[in-house]
Chain A
């Protein structure tokens, strides 16, 4: 059975020391405000490596039944390029929200994010045994939306004019994938020998 949960075609999911993560996260946020605005509804902000390290250490201490976070490394040259995490109502409803970020724009549009998302979904359904996975995406991020659609997410609606950025209003897009939908899409791939 093909069952390395943490290895995809282009990337793998890893655990990293908080120090290494903090340096990367702080640098990505500082280098590119667009990266931050794709990632989060909170106002873009700049925090020190020290502060990031404190947050990440707190994350690692969290009850594992509510948060599962990974870093993303390329298979080709073993670079730390981003993170992906499952967070939410894992107990008792079997749902998690997934969040993903690829830090450096040179690594965007190369299939890394889609590959990492596929790994996160496989982990959600084949290891955590969740019933569904949800995500939020922003109307002004068509690259992200396409990637999520490719990974198997379906549109479930939009909170109208939810975001205000650069003086314009944008919808907050909700997408979801059910366990049975994932099984139909990926089961053959998962059980290939």
Chain B
């Protein structure tokens, strides 16, 4: 890995800016899938209109500009030989950065059901880790995942994240309680992983 290797290019997807014209309509459709919204946060899932999402994106870019504690990306497919199209896959961000301590939190969400379980999350996470550790120079990255989301837990563990905190029964969904699991990865642990690759 060196400076000639693109920060935003994966094999099948890339990190891209928000498209305020086209993205809101697609993301509005995703909000009808509770699994999508639930993977993004703790708030109650509810459908949103394209106009509401557009407002959120504007607020988000304002926060990126003013507070500098958030770096947000759209995930898009890379054009292939068969198709020149670049399709919106989801979103990823390094958020809640505390610069004095060098901490950040990660979020990744893939919108369409048929795009999940295809390795896109894994590609996005690989790019996000390099961005967080090798561009933002953060000391550690964290992620908070509900214990019902085994796929996400495995994904982050595969990249070296270790369980650090378990907020017992903090999540109540569909009448069942689950733990909220905090996982963490230190920059030096990530570096060591890089040298084996």
Q: Which residues of A contact B (CB under 8 A)?
A: 41-43, 89, 91-95, 131-132, 134, 156-164, 174, 176, 178
Contacts and interface: CB of A to CB of B under 8 A. Distances in A.
A164 B44 CA distance: 34
Contacts, number: 68
A158 B182 CA distance: 9
Contacts of A91: 44
B182 A157 contact: yes
Contact of B101 (A95, A132, A158, A163): A163
Given A93-B42, A164-B101, A174 B182 contact: yes
A160 B170 CA distance: 21
A160 B142 CA distance: 10
Contacts of A164: 100-102, 139
Looking at B102, B164, B186, which has the most chain A CB atoms within 10 Å of its CB?
Answer: B164
Interface of B: 42-44, 98, 100-103, 139-140, 142, 163-172, 177, 182, 184, 186
24 contacts: A41-B101, A89-B170, A92-B43, A93-B42, A93-B172, A95-B167, A131-B172, A131-B177, A134-B170, A156-B167, A156-B168, A157-B163, A157-B164, A158-B165, A159-B165, A159-B182, A160-B164, A161-B140, A164-B100, A164-B101, A164-B139, A176-B167, A176-B168, A176-B170
Contact of B168 (A92, A159, A178): A178
A157 B169 contact: no
Looking at B165, B172, B182, which has the most chain A CB atoms within 10 Å of its CB?
Answer: B165
Contacts of B186: 160-161
B140 A92 contact: no
B167 A134 contact: yes
Given A159-B184, A162-B101, A164-B102, A174 B142 contact: no
B168 A132 contact: yes
A94 B164 CA distance: 22
Contacts of B170: 89, 93, 95, 132, 134, 176
Contacts of A92: 43-44, 172
A36 to B, nearest CB: 12
B48 to A, nearest CB: 17
A94 B184 contact: no
A178 B171 CA distance: 12
A89 B63 CA distance: 22
Given A89-B42, A92-B44, A93-B42, A162 B168 contact: no
Contacts of B168: 132, 156, 176, 178
A93 B166 CA distance: 15
Nearest to B171: A93
A162 B140 CA distance: 7
A91 B172 CA distance: 10
B180 to A, nearest CB: 9
A156 B166 contact: yes
Nearest to A41: B98
Looking at A132, A134, A156, which has the most chain B CB atoms within 10 Å of its CB?
Answer: A156
A68 B182 CA distance: 25
A156 B165 contact: yes
B189 to A, nearest CB: 10
B186 to A, nearest CB: 7
Contacts of B163: 157
B141 to A, nearest CB: 11
Contacts of B169: 131-132, 178
Contacts of A178: 168-169
